[in-house]
Amino acid sequence: MTPWVMRLVVANVVMFFVTGAAPGLFSALALVPAQVPLRPWTPFTYMFLHAGTFHLLFNMMGLFFFGPRLEARIGGQRFLRLYLVSGLSGALFSLATPHVPIVGASGAIFGVFVGFARYWPRAQVLIWGIVPVEARIMVILMTVLALMGGFGVGQSGVAHFAHLGGFVGGWLYLRGAEARSAATAFRQVARAAPRPEPSAVERWRRIDRSTLHPVNAEEVERVLAKMETLGANSLTPDERAFLERFAGS
């Protein structure tokens, strides 16, 4: 597991046992949207509580399977911000059910799902470990189910609006983060000037792959191999921006 995925899993598991031994603490940290003015910490704390073992297991499995690759792609700080923003957005959307207690990391985890599907939309995901479906289709289906559940169709006892809020918050955060990223700035320059400078090509060749996550190291190898075979002009703006991200690290 990557560092922040590990820390978040540990935090959720520790809180599960702590609040299990102290039911009064569980109630004090749970989110009841109408009571936020009196308990302003709950939009944050609710996402580290779980109503049972299977609730915890489902959310931590989602974080374990989808989180590491995403954290390796966007970096630890952005991954943590994505997680928290998605959870807080889930709390915001829960205002649609103001008097219903809400607990669980689902809103934050659904933001992680959105991030995974954004970068690997055609990656195959096994639903229930059996049914293969592309990540982008999985997110669309889960969004539809959250909408239906939020308006009274389907399973009760599930925080559908928190799930929907996690999707929306995660998507908005990633859009904003990408718009402000150095890679985006470089991509704009790359589009304006198709032929990369020789100094840029040399920086890319000097990227130390041994310091990168295996997923990123593999992609760097692929892009550099393409550059050596077809020339630097064959690289797409996205590929140039990807190399530039690691050239200065």
Element (H, E) at 228: helix 214-230
Q: How confident is the model at residue 210 (pLDDT cuts 50, 70, 90)?
A: confident
Question: Which are the contacts of 4, defined by CB distance < 8 A and separation ≥ 6?
Answer: 67, 71, 76, 79, 80, 83
Among the options 160, 163, 181, 199, which is catalytic?
Answer: 163
Which pLDDT score, from 0 to 100, does residue 230 have? 83
217 and 123 inside one domain? no
Cα distance between residue 211 and residue 191, in whole Å? 29
Six-digit token pair at 35?
Answer: 């009571």
**Claim to verify: residue 169 and residue 203 sit in the same structural domain:** no
Do 73 and 145 have their domain in common?
A: yes
The verdict on 206 and 148 lying in the same domain is no
Domain limits for position 211: 193-247
pLDDT in tens, 69-94: 999 999 999 999 999 999 999 999 99
Q: Taking all residues of the chain, what is their mean pLDDT, rounded to a whole number? A: 85
65 and 114 share a domain? yes
Last residue of a domain, one of 121, 153, 179: 179
Cα–Cα dist 138/7, whole Å:
26
CATH number, domain containing residue 130 = 1.20.1540.10
Which residue is catalytic, options 86, 89, 94, 106? 106
Instruction: Report the candidate in 133, 138, 134 with the shortest Cα–Cα distance to residue 110.
Output: 138
The count of structural domains within the chain is: 2
Same domain, 91 and 130: yes
Q: Say if residue 91 is in the same domain as residue 148.
A: yes
Residue 234 has a pLDDT of 83
Q: What is the dihedral of CA 149, 151, 156, 159, to 10 degrees?
A: 70
In a domain, 187, yes or no: no
pLDDT digits (tens, 9 = 90+) for 171-193: 999 999 887 765 555 555 555 44
Active site includes 163?
yes
The answer as to whether 188 is a domain residue is no
